[in-house]
Structure 1
Amino acid sequence: MDDRIVLIVDDEPGHRMMVRAVLEDDGWQVLEADSGERALTVLAEEAESDTFPDVAMVDMKMPGMDGMQLLKELQVRRPGMPVVLLTAFGSVGSAVDAMKKGAFDYLTKPADNDELTAVLSKAYEYHKLIKENARLKAEVSSEPDFIGASPGIERVRDLIGQAGPSEATVLILGQSGTGKELVAEGLHRASNRANRPLIKVNCAALPDDLLESELFGYEKGAFTGAVKDKPGRFQLADGGTLFLDEIGEMPAALQAKLLRALQEKTIEPLGSVQTVKVDTRIIAATNRNLKAEVAAGRFREDLYYRLAVLEIRIPPLCERKEDLPLLVSFLLRRLGNKNHKIIRTVTPAFLDALSGYDWPGNVRELENVLERALILSRADALGPDLLPPQITGAREAAVDMSNGFEPEVGQQNMSAPASLEEAEKLAIMRALEENGNHRERTADALGISRRTLQYKLKKFGLTRR
């Protein structure tokens, strides 16, 4: 049976003792508080050791902070945790009012033992459903912004947090496959426009004339086949964010029209003589050196400075190979779910081969390589024999350049962890130390949720750090 934790808040020691005895016999772990104020302190103290009650049972009438006030506080501090109220027989009406304000249920004092265990079991099952629903929603609707704890990725996360809430135009720079779209999504989520649309346009994927009509829209009769008005992406993103990927591929004529839209906050659909006001934040991305494009006359200088109010550069994978263990662990878990196949670990030689390759295709290439290895694997551990020749060949070439000598056993153990799990454990330990053992900051630094971090801390025996 899962550990079930209840917090009892009651100013009567005798009643707390009776309830504790009944619930411990029923398999509950019991926390106690003799006042509303003490209950909040207990919650904070237990949270430090990652203990979170599943249910709270709160007396309605207490000196100081009463049950209704505590209910409001718990709804803010622990949303989703069911609160069962204890009330005297003559105060049932107040308890019913409290249920209308969010209490899960109520019991009259002194509580009947069978009713007590039944109501708390029902509250616990409800809490499990709430947590499972939240977990599934998180899996479906969101991925971590970035996996990794290298300085370059930390810098990207910091810039997303700083620039997201602003209205500034952002230019994202990075090689193909580094995750420019992920940064754009992170900026949108961190903005005040997060509940409005994020509209994406790949400027390299559309012919010039089609790109113009996609961006700015058109009116009926603007050209052959325009049988009705069509709003452009600017209008679809009104109030939200427009992400222009591969902006360096945009033709010169469209660059001028985009500049006007940025400056005047208006657009002119094809075939129209009327301007349309738009309130759209622009985020652009490119894998080109736009400064060199400006110098060569292929990109407008005034547009470049309009776009590059803030630049975010994503480091290529070859510059953050220390993130490989975390990336491999995350991607294998996701790919395993996708392909209905579980991979437990990778061999040291497999991780070593990945580290010896420069990854010109970045994380996208790594994901493809891992999916290929996972599909071809006949065991639950991946070895270097499952890697394509360009990766194993890169490792062999590196050995040849070292006069044909492999590192000594002691040296190899110093530089390469014994397994993926060991590499992941070392990365987590390093992140914990860098963040003063603060769990939330460590999870943010690693690009994972606090719950995932807690799972991994337990898995690697690091919960007491």
Structure 2
Amino acid sequence: MRILVIDDEMNICLSLKNILEDEGYDCQYALKSKQGLQKIEDFAPEIVLLDVRLDGANGLDVLKQIKENHSQIIVIMISGHSGIKEAVLAMKYGAYDFLEKPLSLTKIKVIIKKAYEFRSISKDYDRLKGEVSQQYQIIGSSKSIEEMLSLIERAAPSDSKVLIRGESGTGKELVAYAIHNQSKRAAKPFVKFNSAAIPNELVESELFGFEKGAFTGAVKSKDGKIEQADGGTLFLDEIGDMNLNAQAKILRVIQEGEFERVGGNKTHKVDVRLIAATHKNLEELVEQGTFREDLYYRLNVIPITTPPLREHPEDIPLIIDHYSHYYAEDLKVPLKIFPDATLKELQSWQFKGNVRELRNFIERIYILISKQIIETDDIMLLGQKKVHTDFWNEVISFKEKKRQFETRYLSTQLRMHNGNVSKTALSLGLQVSNLSRKIKELEIKD
């Protein structure tokens, strides 16, 4: 690990350099602030020991410059003439610690060791955060996706409730995380709760927590998802499956910001932003009495709809490229190539499970197909049959598509009129002779 000492006293610089090198660190020093800033560029230290007063310069100003340009560098301030005010300012400007002269060499070693551990943890945190961001990335450049992203950007800064609606596999959780990640609560927890994945009798204890002895097996108290999300965002997935008792308690959290654990009498205060999602028709559930009308209106402040994949097939190549890179890296295999013909074929498919189904299909390709270039025949062996092709997204000539449409349309109309050509022609506003000729031309069977 590289350490830079910036101090205008030569004896301190040499003492620290010798001690730190004995500990196995690569150490350099600078006697002036300008020299120190230059060495930061050239030497790229991971930790800097910085004096508060330097050759007429203010070490706190140097600290600010370091953190502005190299936020990842850990800076430990050292001084023999400063007080609490300088120490507070140093911490405010991003210093890791503040040490007073004369320096305790033992303490220096301990702090350097802790700083190194802190830096390692910070790097792991940044790496994991990057992985999470990649996991929750919304892929697409179509008009419908761009409109949705714009709505997310406008909704994120406030604490308003958001209701996300859309089919399964369209990325409702990704939208919820994007709202959280762009909000003022981004550094706080993002907690997920799926009502459909938990038995009704356990929903309240999981969501609101429970006290010791609240039920058989409750040997100690436990925080619920609400408390875990305090200060952050609680994402209530599949809210349409939540029972009425839990709905009433959620309504109280929204209105008053408080609740009681299962088996407890103590009222707990919380500060959470609620984002809900569902693939169900909540208006119908309200009419049926299985979803509270007041909760519906409380949640439906900012409605966002995730479009099904069939409405933006132009994004399929981008989604394939994203997950192709992901699985190549995850499975440690060469990146596969999808020629234009293969991409066009996939764009014509009807992915009823939406992006989730497409992602699973890309994973299947990486696991089951060893060749690098994925042809149309390869995906036909693994994927959907032709009958599942989306009629409107299939890329073929206009003439052939027109013939397909006429065949389907007239066949359906004939069935609706029990095969009676005269009645069918009358309902369609056609001459019987013209319809008969078209039926013969298209080879439509009775």
TM-score (norm 2): 0.61
Structure 1 counterpart of 2:264, one-letter code: S
- What residue is the counterpart of 1:202 in the other structure? 194
Compared with structure 1, are the counterparts of its residues 139 and 192 closer, same or farther at alpha carbon in structure 2 (3 Å cutoff)? closer
Aligned to 1:418: none
Match of 2:384 among 390, 396, 407: 390
The match for 1:281 is: 273
User: How far did residue 171 of structure 1 move?
Assistant: 0.9
Q: 1:375 to 1:164 in 2, by over 3 A?
A: same
| Whole-Å separation in 1 of the counterparts to 2:220 and 2:42 | 56
Tell me which residue corresponds to 2:292. 300
Please state how far the C-alpha of 1:168 moved relative to its aligned partner.
Answer: 1.0
1:184 is the counterpart of 2:182: no
| Residue number in structure 1 paired with 2:414 | none
- Greater CA drift, 371-380 or 167-176: 371-380
1:140 match: 131
Sequence identity percentage: 43
Contact 2:350–2:389 under 8 Å retained in 1? no
2:345/2:395 contact within 8 Å kept: no
- Structure 2 SS opposite 1:276: strand
Please state if 1:360 is matched with 2:369: no
- Offset at residue 392 of structure 1 (A): 4.5
SS at the partner of 1:195? coil
Amino acid in the other structure paired with 2:178: G
The one-letter code of the counterpart of 2:189 is P
Q: Is the 8 A contact 1:384 1:392 kept in 2?
A: no
Q: Which secondary structure does the structure 2 equivalent of 1:346 belong to?
A: coil
Quick one: distance in 1 between partners of 2:249 and 2:169? 29
Deviation string 1:402-425 (CA, Å, 9 cap, x unpaired) is 665799xxxxxxxxxxxxxxxxxx
Output the TM-score relative to the length of structure 1: 0.58
Q: Separation in 2 of the partners of 1:80 and 1:259?
A: 43
The 3 A distance-change label for structure 1 pair 141 and 256 is closer
Does structure 1 residue 76 correspond to structure 2 residue 68? yes
Displacement after TM superposition at 1:319 (Å): 0.9
- CA change 1:344–1:55 in 2 (3 A) is farther
Alignment of 1:374-453 (within 5 A): 374-387=366-379, 388-390=382-384, 392-395=386-389, 404=400
Query: Alpha-carbon deviation of 1:380?
Result: 1.3
- CA 1:317–1:55 in 2, change beyond 3 Å: closer, same or farther? farther
Say if 1:396 and 1:146 are closer, same or farther in 2 by CA, change over 3 A.
Answer: closer
* Contact 1:220/1:227 (<8 A) preserved: yes
- 2:224 aligns with 232
Maintained 8 Å contact 1:147/1:323 = yes
Query: Is the 8 Å Cα contact of residues 324 and 362 (structure 2) preserved in structure 1?
Result: yes
Offset from partner CA, 1:83-140 (integer Å, 9 cap, x none): xxxxxxxxxxxxxxxxx999xxxxxxxxxxxxxxxxxxxxxxxxxx9xx989955643
Unpaired runs of 5+ residues, structure 2, are: 1-33, 35-40, 45-57, 75-93, 97-119, 404-446
Unaligned runs of 5+ in 1: 1-35, 37-52, 57-65, 83-99, 103-128, 408-465
Deviation at 1:302, TM superposition (A): 0.4
Give the deviation of 1:379 after TM superposition. 1.9
Retained in 1: the 8 A contact 2:348–2:395? no
Cα deviation for residue 332 of structure 1 reads 0.3
Cross-structure match for 1:156? 148
Tell me which residue corresponds to 1:169.
161
State the 1:142 CA deviation: 2.1
Q: Evaluate the alpha carbon distance shift between residue 273 and residue 70 of structure 1 in structure 2; reply closer, same or farther with a 3 A threshold.
A: closer
Deviates more, 1:220-229 or 1:305-314: 220-229
Count of residue pairs brought into register by the alignment: 315
The change in CA–CA distance for 1:326 and 1:135 in structure 2 (over 3 A counts) is farther
